[in-house]
Structure 1
Amino acid sequence: MSDTTPCVRELNLYRQYFDLVAAGTKTIDVRVKYPHLADLTAGDTIRFRIKGTGETCEVKVKRVTEYPDFAALLDGEGPSNVNPTATRDEQLANIRAIYPPEKEALGAFAIEIALLDSAP
């Protein structure tokens, strides 16, 4: 018997992305396909935190989609859903500055999110 109870994950975000999530304008979070995120699923809750602060923002996971790399993710999800304040090329450069090539080689997750207060 498997446990299908939604779980709460805590993940760190940089301030600029945290503010977009908290405003409800960033609806896709980008993560490397790390093994500890493999069981993340719709219905789970993510508590984003700005590292070193007590600031948090909770979102509901609506969908998790796997991509081979960040370029495919941006093309599949639409750059404005990932970061409405930057172009596709700027976002790709920013994501790759956070995650080096060996991390990107693991694959990428697009996590569709909604603020917990506004999640259906």
Structure 2
Amino acid sequence: MTDTTARLHELNLYRQYFDLVATGTKTIEVRVKYPHLADIAAGDTIRFRVKGTDESCDVNVKRVTEYPDFEALLDGEGPAHVNPTAARDQQLTNIRAIYPPEKEALGTLAIEIQVL
């Protein structure tokens, strides 16, 4: 039997990305496919937090799509959905500064979100 109960995931975000999520302008969250994120699914809730603060923002997961790398993810999702304030090349640089090549090699996730 499959468990279809929606789950709550708590994840940290840098301030600049948190603000974009909280205002609804960022609709795709980018993550590496770490084992603890492998089961994230549509219908789940993510509580994003700004590390070191009490600020949080809850979002509904609408869809999760796996990509082999960040370039494919940006091409597939469109950079404006990932970060509407930065060009594609800048986003790729920013993402890879957070996730080095050995992390990217795990696979990448595009998580479509909607603020609750």
- Partner of 1:62 in structure 2? 62
Structure 1: 4+ residue segments shifted above 3 A: none
TM-score, with length taken from structure 2: 0.99
User: Shift of residue 17 of structure 1?
Assistant: 0.1
Code of the aligned partner of 2:62: K
User: Shift of residue 2 of structure 1?
Assistant: 2.2
TM-score, with length taken from structure 1: 0.96
SS in structure 2 opposite 1:41?
coil
SS in structure 2 opposite 1:4?
coil
Code of the aligned partner of 1:91: Q
Structure 1 gap segments, 5+ residues each: none
User: Shift of residue 35 of structure 1?
Assistant: 1.0
Counterpart Cα distance in 1 of 2:24 and 2:2: 33
Indicate the RMSD between aligned Cα atoms, in angstroms: 0.5
Code of the aligned partner of 2:41: T
User: Shift of residue 23 of structure 1?
Assistant: 0.6
Q: How does 1:87-106 map to 2 (within 5 A)?
A: 87-106=87-106
Aligned pairs, number: 116
Structure 2 gap segments, 5+ residues each: none
